[in-house]
Amino acid sequence: MPTSSAPAEPPVRTAFQLLAQEGLVINLANGGTEVVGFSLKQAMDLFDLRLLLEKKALELVLSNDAFHFRPLFESMEQLELYLPQADAGEVPSSETSRLDILFHRSLVMMAENNPLLVAWNTMVNIFQELLEITNMTSSSYTAFFEDHRKLADLIIQRNRSSIDELVAHITKAKNIIIERLESKL
């Protein structure tokens, strides 16, 4: 029977260590932690990385004659489940961020490139934090849904303009975060 020589790290401690590695928190001498947040440069760099990864994934998807749509369909089904709540304004921004991540992960998964997926998954928590700050890049959940459906439809049609649509989609979120961070300077 295997035994572990060291106890497992508590999840909160591990999370703080990851945030410290990303430069989002500082470990204080008294053992505490202070939240730093995103600098404008960090946010821009993270959006550039996200765009680089997702654009490459989409290029791989479009060049593969036999790619599987299932992850994309499943993510759109999840987004669609919230449409009845959208009119009442009952979709929390945290749920919208989760759904946004789910949709974009599906694009990377469809590329069937494990190193690309690992790289994207390594950054997913930071990407989600950025999405929380942008707090909805659309005027409503319905607009958010339609933006994603438009992109999904272009991908399913194997339309090369889906790459331009993805670039515009991520750039829109990037511009919102830049505006919000610049307004705090």
Q: What is the pLDDT of residue 145?
A: 92
Identity of the amino acid at 181:
L
Whole-angstrom distance, CA of residue 144 vs CA of residue 4: 46
Domain count, the chain: 2
Please tell me whether the overall predicted TM-score, pTM, comes out greater than 0.85 for this model.
Answer: no
Cβ-contact 119, 53 below 8 angstroms: yes
| CB-based contacts of 5, cutoff 8 Å, min separation 6 | none
Q: What is the mean pLDDT of the chain?
A: 82
Same domain, 80 and 9: no
Same domain, 123 and 177: yes
- What is the domain range of residue 20? 1-37
Same domain, 18 and 99: no
Same domain, 47 and 32: no
Per-residue pLDDT reduced to its tens digit, 165-175? 999 999 988 88
Per-residue pLDDT reduced to its tens digit, 39-65? 788 888 989 999 999 999 999 999 998
Same domain, 103 and 55: yes
Q: What is the 3-state secondary structure (H, E, C) of 143-176?
A: HHHHHHHHHHHHHHCCCCHHHHHHHHHHHHHHHH
Q: What is the largest CA-CA distance in the chain?
A: 58
